[in-house]
Structure 1
Amino acid sequence: MGTACEDVPLKPTIQDLKVKLHHSTLLFPTQKTQKKCCFLSNVDQNFNFYVATLHFFSANPNFPPETVAKRLKTAVEKVLVPYDFAAGTVQRNHQSGCLEIDCDAAGAGFVVASSEVSLDEIGDLVYPHQGYNQLAIQNLDNWEPNNDRQPLCIFQVTSFKCGGFSLSLSTNHLLFDGMGARTFLENVASQAFENKPLAIIPCNDRHLLTARSPPHVAFPHPELLPAKNIQALNCVKEELESKIFKLTSNQINYLKDKAKSNDGKKAAMTTTKITSFNAVAALIWRCKALSVDTEKDRISTLLCAVDIRSRLNPPLPPSYCGNAVLNAYASSKCLELEVAPFSELVGMVSNGTERVTDEYIRSTLDWIEINKGVPNGEYFISSWWRLGFEEVVYPWGKPIYSFPLMNQNKYICFLLPPDADDVIVNVLVTLPAKEMERFQSLFRGFFQY
């Protein structure tokens, strides 16, 4: 018998990080920037909310936290020249009715804080909890007297009593997707060095994802729901619990081996791309769908975020700043997910991602132009697994761990980077207690070999 994957409930010993805010200010570009409006694509339009990433650093005697804060402040002011939209404000275009960014050099936020605890007291950093919200301020009280407008981008540097510190980046998602945010931080890191050029020249031409005129929807798009069909939901408050499922290289290889077989027979889907992501996503989908106590004829739809930069013809520049992510989908009856060979589930996930071609992307952009819709699925997998935030090199070194700051949401599963040599990916699942019990049993049981 093999060893089941490790699953750990998120119950950190410290809930209050005892953070004290020392200083908050607005930072402005070091040079005068052009007053203009930044067009936002149809993909951008659905991302008018704030997200944050959190990055922890070990103590560095050559770079105490106060020095880090000074270096970062100067670096941010420099990058706000090529990233002028990050210092702007969101407004609605009166003619089109769409959101856009006024590049008015209104400023980016910068906060300096300290915590009374050490990194060792926090424990394993992979387990996000409510205390982390103190490390990523998402609004500045001194921004406007009525506090209606907030900076689209806020940095916070928080020192710990051990000499280590955290850096958070809180942005309106209209500015960047995950890849864009990583590139932005690479450029901030480069400017924190002395006399170093930008790491990457950013591309903010969002017209590259403009819908066609006239629009031409060439495919069905069940992964999207038209705005006219959206109804107000009576959200039922539920007690949710979160767990991390740590997958090792042996377990990833086991999933791939299962995906290559058809219960001992040759797999029917010989064209299936058996990647680590597809295998992990298929297992998560099966466990989530079967954890809900409903009829087996129910259709379960999985959504997976796909970076479309390299899928377009011609491809988008890798340094494209805006949101270049669409949802691939896979749908099946719960009964089929329960009895079908694992190879078929992986095949459905693989087919979903392979479906996202240049023509499909153009069709999606045109569909949104017509319908102004939103994602439509039962479960969404958001992968921060290989975005590379932990590889960004600052003068004081690389982060010891980086991850998105997340609120509990039973509809989203996060794939987080490894935190140890024997771990390949951390799977963060949040569900009501009964569903979590079923999910855990199914997840564990799959590795009983």
Structure 2
Amino acid sequence: MGSIYQEAPPLPQDLKVRIQNSSMVFPSKQTERKSLFLSNIDRVLNFDVESVHFFASHKDFPPDIVVDRLKKALADALVAYDFFAGRLKLSPETGRLEIDCNGAGAGFVVASSELELDQIGDLVYPNPAFAQLVQKNKDFLEPGDQPLAVFQVTSFNCGGFAIGMSTSHTTVDGIGFTTFLENLAALAASKPLAATPCHDRRLLAARSPPCVTYSHPELLNLGHLAVPGAESGVFEASAEDLDFKIFRLTTHNINHLKSEAKASATGSAARITGFNIVTALVWRCKALSAGDDPNRSSTILYAVDIRSRLNPPLPRDYAGNAVLTAYATAKCEELERWPFGRLVEVVSEGAERMTDEYVRSAIDWGELYNGSPNGEVLVSSWWRLGFAGVEYPWGKPRYCCPVVYHRKDIILYFPPDDDEVVGGGGVNVLVALPPMEMQKFLKLFHEFLN
């Protein structure tokens, strides 16, 4: 099928961004002061998520108009999403992490770049310089104050602009953030909320007393060593020099893999989804590139939306984190020997495991132990979150992407820019590995795909 990975194109390392002003945006109406309970899922995800949303120029919406519209819409959104204007704190009574919904506000930064949008390179290719489009200094107004959401609008010389967003993952998951963006876009267009968010995070509270009914090898018990907010396990940044490549799988590639999986599967063909077959391929290549011990076990982790898996189901517009880590484990010799269909089935079993009782057991496990995801590799999928489908008054984004900080043990899926909105089946896979492992990964990837 030829070469389907992309070497790094020429990328500007300096986007020549200058900060013009920084301010706080407060809720447009007075909100109730309260402490927001965080579930055990929320508490584990105590780190920031950074994304950049690029927009082409629009004659009716130059960047200064966008800034005014966005600030007003954000102020209105902070009424419905009061936790985004709050601050994380430890409860003096329970010692649990919670959000103090105190109306302290969200950060807002206005910046400009000397470049035109078309000069910053291929938007799909993760450029570390995109970090300049997201404000990292959270205490830019008052030392020690850490907003849970900071927005940065950066205008380009062509009239296009980027909206960089940094939010604490304790606040929402990807699905919840998509709903937030849809509501923000509606408010910017002077329309009512597109959906009313559900804030009752006690729907995912642990049972009393906690009752762990399953073993949870996907969770690592850190005991007294756990530090709230500290990255551990697969979230740790690697000190190694990493080579990284983008693997572009087209709809044709994915259909080819589906056919191969169906031909060798022993169970239901319904398990053979695009996500499962890409994850099976990536897992096989990642595990076998890491060493030559056939008896070594490899575990892959990936997030599963649990909203519809509970009994009763969570509201579709549940605003907190409603994802849990599914896992699949196999020995390297099995990953090499198994037919592809069997490997896809093992991946799919991770999601099938997520019944109501399994979810409740995992949440109760989190009540008893400090922990973090436990595996060799974690898949973080932005593939079908739908950020680029959000319709703002100034149009849909030209492209949306996370700000990438390379992690050896995190594989990132994200949509290609040519079919993200229209529902195409292609996907881009970002892999970062030490150079020797990357060479093995490349070789295995092409062998298994062809």
Q: Give the TM-score of the pair, scaled to structure 2.
A: 0.94
CA contact 2:237–2:406 (8 Å) conserved in 1: no
State how far apart, in whole Å, the 2-side matches of 1:230 and 1:432 are: 29
Q: Deviations over 1:280-303 (max 9, x none)?
A: 000000000001124110000000
Question: Which position in structure 1 is the counterpart of 2:334?
Answer: 336
Cα deviations across residues 173-205 of structure 1 (Å, max 9, x unaligned)?
Answer: 1111111111111111111113x1011111111
- Per-residue CA deviation, residues 50-88 of structure 1 (Å, 9 max, x unaligned), is 111110011111110111011000000001111111101
User: In the aligned structure 1, how far is the partner of 2:168 from the partner of 2:224?
Assistant: 26
Once residues 7 and 391 of structure 2 are traced to their aligned partners in structure 1, the CA distance between those partners, rounded to angstroms, is 32
- Asked if 1 retains the 8 angstrom alpha-carbon contact of 2:326 and 2:354, the reply is yes
Does structure 2 retain, via aligned residues, the 8 Å contact 1:153–1:171? yes
Maintained 8 Å contact 2:300/2:378: yes
- Tell me the matched-pair count: 439
Cα distance in 2, alignment partners of residues 163 and 377 from structure 1: 45
Look up the match of 1:160: 156
* Partner Cα distance (2:402, 2:203) in 1: 27
Of residues 209, 229, 238, the one that matches 1:214 is 209
Matched, 1:388 2:376: no
Residue 183 of structure 1 corresponds to which residue in structure 2? 179
Which of 118, 121, 146 is residue 120 of structure 1 equivalent to? 118
CA shift in 2, pair 1:314/1:236, >3 Å: closer
Q: Which moved more, 1:222-231 or 1:185-194?
A: 222-231
Q: CA deviation at 1:230?
A: 6.1
**Residues 236 and 361 of structure 1: is their aligned pair in 2 closer, same or farther, counting only changes over 3 Å?**
closer
Q: Which residue of 2 aligns with 1:299?
A: 297
Match of 1:244 among 213, 226, 246: 246
Letter matched to residue 432 of structure 2:
T
Which stretches in structure 1 are left out of the alignment for 5+ residues?
none
Of residues 21-30 and 416-425 in structure 1, the stretch that sits farther from structure 2 once superposed is 416-425
CA contact 1:309–1:324 (8 Å) conserved in 2 = yes
Q: In structure 1, which of residues 101, 104, 122 is the aligned counterpart of residue 102 of structure 2?
A: 104
Q: Which residue of 1 aligns with 2:440?
A: 438
Aligned to 1:347, the other structure's residue is in SS state helix
In structure 2, distance between residues paired with 1:388 and 1:230: 37
What is the aligned-residue identity percentage?
53
Counterpart of 1:129 in structure 2 is: 127
Where 1:109 maps in the other structure, the secondary structure is strand
Q: What's the CA shift string for 1:115-138, capped at 9, x where partnerless?
A: 111121112101112210110002
Cα deviation, 1:184-243, whole Å, max 9, x if unaligned, reads 11111111113x101111111100000011111111110001122969999862101211
- 1:258-307 Cα distance to aligned partner (Å, 9 max, x none): 11122xxxx32246610000000000000000011241100000001111
The alpha-carbon distance between structure 1 residues 18 and 235, as it changes in their structure 2 partners (threshold 3 A), is closer
Which deviations, in whole Å up to 9, do the C-alpha atoms of 1:400-447 show, x marking residues without a partner?
A: 111111201011001101222487111111111111111111112222
Report the Cα distance in structure 2 between the residues aligned to 1:304 and 1:179, rounded to whole angstroms. 15
Q: Is the 8 A contact 1:135 1:168 kept in 2?
A: yes
Unaligned runs of at least 5 residues, structure 2? 227-231
Q: Which residue of 2 aligns with 1:228?
A: 223
Partner SS, residue 402 of structure 1: strand
CA RMSD of aligned residues (A): 1.7
For the residue of structure 1 that corresponds to 2:308, the secondary structure is helix
Q: Is 1:428 aligned with 2:426?
A: no
1:417 equivalent in alignment to 2:412 = no
Do 2:49 and 2:169's aligned partners in 1 also have CA atoms closer than 8 Å?
Answer: yes
Matched letter for residue 219 of structure 2: L
For the residues of structure 1 that align with 2:41 and 2:8, how far apart are their CA atoms? Answer: 33
Aligned partner letter, 2:322: A
In the superposition, relative to structure 1, how do residues 229 and 410 fare at CA in structure 2: closer, same or farther (>3 Å)? farther
Match of 1:352 among 350, 353, 372: 350
Superposition deviation, residue 379 in structure 1 = 0.3
Q: Distance in 2 between matches of 1:203 and 1:61?
A: 37
Q: Is the 8 A contact 1:118 1:162 kept in 2?
A: yes
The superposition leaves residues 306-339 of structure 1 with CA deviations (integer Å, 9 ceiling, x where unpaired) of 1111111111111111111101100000011011
Q: Partner amino acid for 1:176?
A: V
Closer, same or farther in 2 for the Cα pair 1:12/1:203, shift >3 Å?
farther
SS in 1 for 2:209: coil
Match of 2:229?
none
Give the one of 141, 166, 169 matched to 2:165.
169
Partner of 1:40: 38
Shift of the 114–84 alpha-carbon distance from structure 1 to 2, 3 Å rule, reads same
Q: Which amino acid aligns with 2:408?
A: K
The correspondence for 1:53, drawn from 37, 51, 54, is 51
Q: Which amino acid aligns with 1:169?
A: M
Kept in 2, the 8 Å contact 1:27–1:109? The answer is yes
* Aligned residues of 1:309 and 1:317 also touching (Cα < 8 A): yes
In 2, Cα distance between equivalents of 1:335 and 1:291: 12
8 Å CA contact retained: 1:143, 1:150: no
